[in-house]
Amino acid sequence: MTQRFIPGLLIATAVLVAGLIVAFAIGRYPVGLGELFDVLWSRASGRPSSAPEATENVILLVRGPRVIAAVLVGAALAVAGAAFQGLFRNPLVSPDILGASSGAALGAVLGIYFSLGVIGIELLAFGGGLIAVAAVYGIGSALQSRDPILVLVLTGVVVGALLGAGVGLVKYLADPYNQLPAMTFWLLGSLAATNAGDLIPLAGPVALGTIVLVALRWRMNVMSLPEEEARALGVATGPMRIAIVVAATLVTSASVAASGVIGWVGLVVPHLARALVGPDFPKLLPTCALLGGGYLLLIDTLARTMAPIEIPLGILTAVIGTPFFIWLLASMQRNWS
């Protein structure tokens, strides 16, 4: 396994660029590469474009926001996944582990149930994610244990199950003709409804959380060591863990609020990124962001083109993620023995 940074980063960049080209070009209204570059260049330089207006609209208004959202959500979930895996010293965890996703999901279905607008739904999703993590963290810390990480992870599973029951209740009570399809659609994850206005509430928190994680990149290496070692190396593990959890939850909640629940990205992409550049966070985080963005773009392009109707993203990521997880489990057992 080579762990060269520059080649790894180039591969990740190539995946993102390929994802961008494919996502802009393919669809019900095919766009040629020449037209794509022409429109993007005219936009950047301010000169009028020679492409037909319909093509320009498809690129800038229809596919543009969706492409940017896919890149942001994919990057956010991958970066958060890498952060959680390092922090919990367990390559099998993902952003869902602390209840961030299920909390956000409950918030969003409540928003739909009370017929709130898009902003209301996003705020509730966001608040739900943060409250769920705070609850998991509070309970996990209150239960004093020699193995706080394990207790935290188990608490996350239990709280996640309770929140799942809450989601089930809201769905049960919802109007089966108006609300239930919207909830189901949202819970399966989709970028179909993304427009330019959704990008700011997505990009702001994602940027903020990612900046914090990137700033702490070296400390995150040390935090992936056993607690006592990290402290003996001079890291105040308590506050550091809170900072990393809050930042990673922020980016997770923001992406769940924008795109619904898209599982597995935060698990799969960090592994691919580690295979490229190794586990060193200063190298891993940028690779995760590039690769995650490209990965979700490719999946989203598949979702909207492979069948006459859109396939929910969460279904595609699960179809890829489940065998990947089993393969991971099998290969890890070989290492353990």
Partner 1 sequence: MTLAGRNLTIGYSDRVVGRGLDVALKQGEVLALLGPNGGGKTTLLKTLLGILKPLAGEAQIDGRSLDAFSIRDRARRVAYVPQVHNPTFAFTVETVVLMGRTAHGGLFSRPSSRDREVANRALDEFGIGHLKERAYTMISGGERQLVLLARALAQEPQFIVLDEPTASLDFGNQGKVMREIRALAASGLGVLFTTHDPNHALRAADRAYLLRDGACVAEGEVKHVLTSEQLQELYRAPIERLIDATTGASAFLPG
Where are the alpha helices (H) located in 174-280, listed in sequence order? 179-188, 196-215, 217-223, 227-232, 237-259, 265-277
Q: Which stretch binds partner 1 (CB under 8 A): 58-66, 89-97, 174-182, 244-252?
A: 89-97
**DSSP state for residue 146 in the 8-state scheme:** S
CB of 282 to partner 1, least distance (A): 5
CB of 253 to partner 1, least distance (A): 24
Q: Which is nearer to partner 1, 180 or 222 (CB)?
A: 222
The CA distance from 288 to 299, in Å, is 16
* CA nearest to 30, candidates 62, 68, 58: 58
* CA nearest to 265, candidates 257, 255, 275: 255
CB of 321 to partner 1, least distance (A): 20
* Beta-sheet strands, E only, within the chain: none
Q: Which of residues 142-181 bind partner 1 (CB under 8 A)?
A: 144
Q: Which is nearer to partner 1, 274 or 304 (CB)?
A: 274
Per DSSP, the residues of 249-260 read HHHHHHHHHHH-
CB of 176 to partner 1, least distance (A): 46
Among 118, 185, 279, 328, binds partner 1 (CB under 8 A): 279
Q: Which stretch binds partner 1 (CB under 8 A): 57-65, 82-90, 124-132, 186-194?
A: 82-90
* CA nearest to 75, candidates 309, 318, 289, 230: 289
The reply on whether position 101 binds partner 1 by CB under 8 A is: no
Q: Which is nearer to partner 1, 86 or 189 (CB)?
A: 86
Q: Which is nearer to partner 1, 53 or 228 (CB)?
A: 228
Site string for partner 1, 197-236 (x = CB under 8 A): ------------------xxxxx-xx-xxx-xx-xxxxxx
Residue with tokens 């089930």: 168
In Å, how far from its chain's centre is CA 4? 25
Site string for partner 1, 117-146 (x = CB under 8 A): ---------------------------x--
CA distances in angstroms from 317 to 82, 121, 313, listed in the order given:
17, 23, 6
The CA distance from 235 to 328, in Å, is 31
Q: Which stretch binds partner 1 (CB under 8 A): 73-81, 88-96, 117-125, 135-143?
A: 88-96
CA distances in angstroms from 168 to 95, 182, 183, 297, listed in the order given:
21, 14, 11, 30
Q: Which residues bind partner 1 (CB under 8 A)?
A: 1, 3, 86, 89-91, 144, 215-219, 221-222, 224-226, 228-229, 231-236, 274, 278-280, 282
